[in-house]
Amino acid sequence: MVNIDGTRLLADLHELRSYGASGGGVVRPSYSEQDMAARAWLTSRMAEAGLDSFVDDVGNAVGVSPNTGPTLLVGSHSDTQPTGGWLDGALGVIYGLEVARALLEDQHTRHLSVDAVAWIDEESTYASCVGSKQFCGVLEARDLASRNRAGEQLADAIARNDLGFNRPYKLDSSRHVGYLEAHIEQGPRLEEVGYLIGAVTSIVGIRAVKVTFSGQQNHAGTTPMHLRADAGVALFDYAARLRERFSAVATGSTVWTFGNAVLEPGAESIVPGQAHLTAQFRDPDDELLTAMQNEMEALAREMSAEGPVGVSVIADRDGIKPTMMSPALIDHVAQAAELHAPGKWMQMPSAAGHDPMVISHHLPCGMLFIPSINGISHDFSEDSLEDDIIRGCQVLADAVVAALGSAPG
Amino acid sequence: MVNIDGTRLLADLHELRSYGASGGGVVRPSYSEQDMAARAWLTSRMAEAGLDSFVDDVGNAVGVSPNTGPTLLVGSHSDTQPTGGWLDGALGVIYGLEVARALLEDQHTRHLSVDAVAWIDEESTYASCVGSKQFCGVLEARDLASRNRAGEQLADAIARNDLGFNRPYKLDSSRHVGYLEAHIEQGPRLEEVGYLIGAVTSIVGIRAVKVTFSGQQNHAGTTPMHLRADAGVALFDYAARLRERFSAVATGSTVWTFGNAVLEPGAESIVPGQAHLTAQFRDPDDELLTAMQNEMEALAREMSAEGPVGVSVIADRDGIKPTMMSPALIDHVAQAAELHAPGKWMQMPSAAGHDPMVISHHLPCGMLFIPSINGISHDFSEDSLEDDIIRGCQVLADAVVAALGSAPG
């Protein structure tokens, strides 16, 4: 047990919010002036907490514990979406700082080793999860060549900020035993049932599939209904039939979305000759995703055989695989949640992506969620209750203490 | 009875085709150099046939009969779509020339009065049905201000061709008793049943309705299925349910088309918050069109009440009203069809628009169709069989003789 300082936690969150503040939200994309200023401030707060702090060679703000022994890395990312909320990423970053700080202040825990981190460019301003990739040694040339919307390459953003010869921060398997990240849920599941903590079990996998319908473009007046091969009608039919099939295989964690549909040529007086449907689906179970993709392909074959419109599927066969959290870390989060929110927490997958998608391939990961008001995120109106913010940090601190207490010495 | 000259008819059709010939098709938009050259040639052929021919003050090529007494006007338009076929319009224009010519050549019919006409800009290069509107005295200032794709106003196209002070050709109710137009069907109905002539009963009315679906834009990962208000899914559902309702009220002449559908913002990872569907439907019966529109509005109300997505309809309440052909002229066409294609003709509506949409408000109209190969029109591959072309003209000639024989003297 260790007690975090809720007042200090909220003060630091609001201080971080001031970097790039815009309306109720924050505009602090990675490698911007605001982002780099925030990282300088973060390292100063880490240093005040007794951590060996620096901005590393790719821009991560890092506070290394002065202690030896098994080390937990705790944090999140401090960059934001182009028009982001004040808690996405920032919450987990200040939690990392507060947990490391509170542990060092308490005589019962000051021997425990926690590194605090603020990853850079999780939000894909240039590439995705740039900071955690560099930490894991998997940042590739194609990432460095990726550009932001203004056309600047990641490599140039790093050079512009004079980061290249900074001290590196790398995964040290003789030292690091796990990574813990707290985050706002970014969805409405906790709020809907009145729960206060989510013990994240996985990050869902994602498949994206494009379906093309090939009919015969024709005059909307002179072509009788029974002689039409209407690609648009086939698309509507496919979507309706697929919803039934998806519903039959889905679990409560499954989501699917028809994000776009295009009819060609898209004119009032022309029977569409071509149509295109975009489907995306997410679930923690990769086999279920494969089953859903198989349903899409089977339905395309059936409708092509029925005619008159041909249906073909271009599948993102590999997609993004689900990311599994460490069972031990899930359990530590769950036990701490039961202590501070008895009966009001649940295990749940994350439906959004996070740095553990990279890190979990190299180090056991755990995550916890606190409720998002109205489930809103990636928006200026993103917010969470102060009591929920403080409770989440206390749960994380206790999970860290338990994890390090049970870690091999 | 009068005998048309099939060889001469085909020769004139191919001569007209040479003005603007492109591949197998024709590019002869109204007021173009090719169009005006074709009109000069047409008036020369009309003059050779013994007609008093001229290009009128709006560009119509006209051949006025030398006879007195009740006069039938026979023809079509000689302008084409931007990339048109060789028969659309041209067929009916050369039919008018050939019928007037054949009648004047035959001692039994040379007293009958037929004016031949080639209307200008039926195809809406600038406005629609410009020539027939001028004939009927209903060409409006807004038509003259209409522009082609290059931005030229109709009034300027008329001035550029020095037409303004040409001799006018106006409906004369003391002389004109009706208008007859032959046309390719532009659809597959005749070909499908192996029929050779269509006696056109009406030109279908058209309604266009836009439907807007208002849901809640959301994250495609973090928003559980049961909390979504997906505007795209509502659109697919609406289209599927509307098809059932339309099928229940439609006749064999009814067509409906969902020409366009747009999901907003149209991104793979975003639940669509807004969606828009374009519906157009056509039928000879205006009450049936109203019934279909009522179905659309009723379904929108029902789905809005069911929620969670609001559905609203913006209706083109008046649309284009159906145009009815003269029962007497339908009958003359039908009797001539039965003579030359016994058992192989039918009464049918026109699903495409024609100059009688304007003229029928001022003068009784009749139309006949010949089959289109594969139902194709407004395309370079548009074609009809030579036997069908010749037979159609003979049917038209006999219908003209019968109509003038029964006309009040």
Q: Are A299 and A242 in contact (CB under 8 A)?
A: yes
Helices (H) and strands (E) in chain B, counts: 12, 17
Contact A225/B at CB under 8 A:
yes
**Which residue in A267, A262, A208 sits closest to A235, CA to CA?**
A262
Confidence check: pLDDT of A407 > 90: no
pLDDT at residue A366, as a whole number: 98
β-bridge partners, A216? A229
Are B236 and A259 an interchain contact pair (Cβ–Cβ within 8 Å)? no
Confidence check: pLDDT of A409 > 60: no
pLDDT tens digits for A173-191? 999 999 999 999 999 999 9
Give the tokens for residue B57.
């003050």
- Cβ contacts (< 8 Å) between B187 and chain A: which residues? 219, 221-224
Are B255 and A206 an interchain contact pair (Cβ–Cβ within 8 Å)? no
Q: Are A368 and A392 in contact (CB under 8 A)?
A: yes
pLDDT at residue A318, as a whole number: 67
User: How many other C-beta atoms lie within 10 A of the C-beta of residue A69?
Assistant: 14
DSSP result, B193-221: HT--EEEEEEE-EEEEEEEEEE-B-EETT
pLDDT tens digits for A72-105? 999 999 999 988 999 999 999 999 999 999 999 9
Question: What angle in degrees, to the nearest 10, is found between the helix axes of B231-249 and B286-306?
Answer: 140
Distance from CA of A359 to the nearest CA of B (A): 21
Contact B348/A at CB under 8 A:
no
Closest-CA residue of chain A to B246:
A225
pLDDT at residue B409, as a whole number: 47
Q: Are B277 and B211 in contact (CB under 8 A)?
A: yes
Q: Where in chain B is the domain with CATH 3.40.630.10?
A: 6-203+322-405
Instruction: Find the CB nearest A237 among B185, B240, B278.
Output: B240
Are B282 and A221 an interchain contact pair (Cβ–Cβ within 8 Å)? yes
pLDDT tens digits for A325-348? 999 999 999 999 999 999 999 999
Are B222 and A186 an interchain contact pair (Cβ–Cβ within 8 Å)? yes
pLDDT at residue B135, as a whole number: 98
Instruction: Determine the average pLDDT of the residues in A373-387.
Output: 92
Distances (CA, A) of A106 to A1, A99, A103, A111: 10, 11, 5, 9
Candidates B124, B200, B222, B350: best to mutate against A (most CBs of A within 10 A) is: B222
Contact A243/B at CB under 8 A:
yes
Distance from CA of A351 to the nearest CA of B (A): 5
Question: What angle in degrees, to the nearest 10, is found between the helix axes of A33-48 and A90-105?
Answer: 10
Instruction: Find the CB nearest B352 among A221, A280, A375.
Output: A221
Contact A299/B at CB under 8 A:
no
Fold of A205-315: Alpha-Beta Plaits (3.30.70)
Of the pLDDT bands very low, low, confident and very high (cuts 50, 70, 90), residue A408 is low
Contact B379/A at CB under 8 A:
no
β-bridge partners, B310? B214
- Cβ contacts (< 8 Å) between A190 and chain B: which residues? none
CA torsion sign for B7, B13, B19, B22 is negative
**Helices assigned H by DSSP within B285-385:** 286-306, 327-340, 356-359
Q: Where in chain A is the domain with CATH 3.30.70.360?
A: 205-315
Give the tokens for residue A383.
């917010």
Of the pLDDT bands very low, low, confident and very high (cuts 50, 70, 90), residue A378 is confident
Q: Are A279 and A256 in contact (CB under 8 A)?
A: yes
Give the tokens for residue B270.
């975003």
- Cβ contacts (< 8 Å) between B200 and chain A: which residues? none
- Cβ contacts (< 8 Å) between A282 and chain B: which residues? 220-221
Q: Are B52 and B64 in contact (CB under 8 A)?
A: yes
Distance from CA of A210 to the nearest CA of B (A): 10
Q: What is the mean pLDDT of each run of 10 residues along chain B (409 residues)?
A: 95 98 95 98 98 98 97 98 93 98 97 98 95 97 95 97 97 97 96 97 95 94 93 96 95 95 92 96 95 96 98 84 96 98 97 95 98 91 96 98 80
Question: Can you give chain A as a three-state secondary structure string?
Answer: CCCCCHHHHHHHHHHHHCCCEECCEECCCCCCHHHHHHHHHHHHHHHHCCCEEEECCCCCEEEECCCCCCEEEEEEECCCCCCECCCCCHHHHHHHHHHHHHHHHCCCCCCCEEEEEEECCCCCCCCCCHHHHHHHCCCCHHHHCCECCCCCEHHHHHHHCCCCCCCCCCCCCCCEEEEEEEEECCCCHHHHHCCCEEEEEEECEEEEEEEEEECECEECCCCCHHHCECHHHHHHHHHHHHHHHHHHHCCCCCEEEEEEEEEECCCCCEECCEEEEEEEEEECCHHHHHHHHHHHHHHHHHHHHHCCCEEEEEECCCCECCEECCHHHHHHHHHHHHHHCCCCEEEEEECCCCCHHHHCCCCCEEEEEECCHHHCCCCCCCCCCHHHHHHHHHHHHHHHHHHHHHCCC
Fold of B6-203+322-405: Aminopeptidase (3.40.630)
- Cβ contacts (< 8 Å) between B224 and chain A: which residues? 187-189, 192, 252, 255
pTM attached to this predicted model: 0.84
Interface list for A 247-266 with B (CB within 8 A): 250, 252, 254-263, 266
Fold of A6-203+322-406: Aminopeptidase (3.40.630)
